[in-house]
Amino acid sequence: MNGIKHLFSPPYHAQSNGCAEICVKKVKNAIKKAKTEGKDIQESLEKFLFDYRVADHSSTKVSPSKMMFGRNIKTRLDLIRPSQKLINDLKVQSQIDNFGGKQRNFELGEKVVVKDFSNKEPTWIPGEISRKSGNVTFDIALEKGKIVRRHSNQIRSRMSASPYTDPTAEATAELATENQCSDLIEKSSCVSEDISIDPETAIIGSDAPLAAGNRYNLRSKNKS
């Protein structure tokens, strides 16, 4: 089944399954060493198995943990390597510098408003930053003592005296105001006057004759 073929070794002949016997031998040696040095056997066995699982195997050329999880698990040797958080921060800063990104940082104890999804329509409710749980996620303490976790995109600083104002509504109102202003400017610039033009005294940009009903930028012959 599943392309697996089970091979049985002869009874009472451990040499037929040499790989398994070598593994058993290494485990027994680790236990004997722990007993000789007076260490806790269970803890020593766990450390030995951990080191065995992160070491590259001679047959597969990769560690057992990588074969199982698809990645190398963190070991004590990783502590002397550059911090992954530092590498990620440098990448984020590079994105901001090159593409004009925006990074939202909030301090512990900062007053904010966060999105509340308990209702059918999301609303903004006041809260306070209690803990940074990830690179872009924060735990917020609400006024009733409830702790919620939100992404930085779902948090806004509470800088004004009216913290309950929906930033989305503010943006919509601002856009509507801009549209009204542009409409007024467009209407005022389109006011027309009745102008009588004599084809004999006016010319177009070129010397072509003026046709009735055509609209061109006209100038008088008498003016320089």
Convert the pLDDT of each residue in 23-45 to its tens digit.
889 899 999 999 999 999 999 99
Selection from 57, 67, 65 nearest residue 26 by Cα: 57
Selection from 106, 171, 114, 121 nearest residue 143 by Cα: 114
Instruction: Pinpoint the residues of the chain covered by CATH 2.30.30.
Output: 111-167
CA angle 25, 28, 30 (to 5 degrees): 110
Mean pLDDT confidence for 1-11: 83
Q: Kindly state the percentage of the chain with pLDDT values over 70.
A: 68
pTM of the predicted model, to two decimals?
0.38
The class (CATH top level) of 111-167 is: mainly beta
Per mean pLDDT, which range of 60-64, 100-104, 134-138, 147-151 is the poorest?
100-104
Convert the pLDDT of each residue in 69-86 to its tens digit.
998 888 888 888 777 777
